[in-house]
């Protein structure tokens, strides 16, 4: 994503200027400490002059598209964003843990769901609510729906309530 949006030189610079345990070498089957992402995003923000929350949202949207390409089977059983998002904990994360047993996943609690309204509470010690919001935006875009997102911070970015409303 960084190469596509900002160019190879910036991508190379942020990796080489970060102190990464992995050395900046990543594979699809690896598990990496989230501090590496924090370093990379911080360095990218400094180089690109784009604020960290916007970069995290952008990466979330991008990554959702990559999930669709790489794990299409997760998306065949759902017809809309609310249905997909309501299955994160009981279906998606169960399947992710089969593939990546060491993954430290956030928790998503589904609140009341009505025909045109849904509440989704994100909890993670990592405080990556902006990234989660980008993933939610990517989901909405994937299903081609017109859904607004409002955000209520419960405990900073570690616990956030997302209020989703379908526009009629």
pLDDT digits (tens, 9 = 90+) for 53-69: 999 999 999 989 988 99
Calpha distance 37→41 (Å, rounded): 6
Q: Which residues contact 168 (CB under 8 A, 6 or more apart)?
A: 116
**Rounded mean pLDDT, 67-87:** 88
Domain residue extents for the chain: 1-50, 53-168
Share of the chain above pLDDT 90, in %: 55
Calpha distance 133→59 (Å, rounded): 10
For residue 115, which phi and psi values (nearest 5 degrees)?
-55, -45
pLDDT tens per residue across span 107-150: 999 988 888 999 999 999 889 999 999 999 999 999 999 999 99
Structure tokens at 34: 């989230």
Calpha distance 82→80 (Å, rounded): 6
Instruction: Give me the half-sphere count of Cα atoms (radius 13 Å) on the Cβ side of residue 78.
Output: 21
Structure tokens at 151: 């955000």
Q: Which residues contact 36 (CB under 8 A, 6 or more apart)?
A: 18, 20, 21, 22
Distance linking the first and last C-alpha atoms of the chain: 33
Calpha distance 153→40 (Å, rounded): 25
CATH for 53-168?
A: 3.90.1520.10
């Amino acid at each position: 994503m960084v190469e596509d949006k900002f160019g190879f030189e910036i991508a190379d610079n942020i990796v080489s200027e970060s102190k990464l345990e992995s050395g900046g070498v990543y594979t699809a089957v690896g598990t990496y400490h989230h501090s590496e992402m924090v370093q990379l995003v911080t360095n990218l923000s400094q180089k690109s002059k784009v604020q960290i929350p916007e970069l995290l949202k952008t990466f979330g949207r991008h990554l959702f598209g990559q999930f669709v390409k790489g794990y299409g089977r997760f998306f065949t059983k759902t017809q809309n964003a609310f249905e997909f998002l309501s299955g994160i904990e009981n279906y998606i994360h169960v399947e992710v843990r089969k593939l990546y047993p060491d993954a430290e996943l956030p928790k998503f609690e589904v609140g009341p769901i009505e025909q045109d309204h849904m509440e989704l509470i994100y909890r993670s010690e990592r405080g990556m609510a902006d990234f989660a919001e980008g993933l939610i935006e990517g989901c909405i875009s994937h299903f081609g729906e017109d859904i607004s997102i409002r955000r209520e911070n419960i405990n900073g970015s570690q616990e956030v309530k997302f209020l989703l409303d379908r526009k009629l």
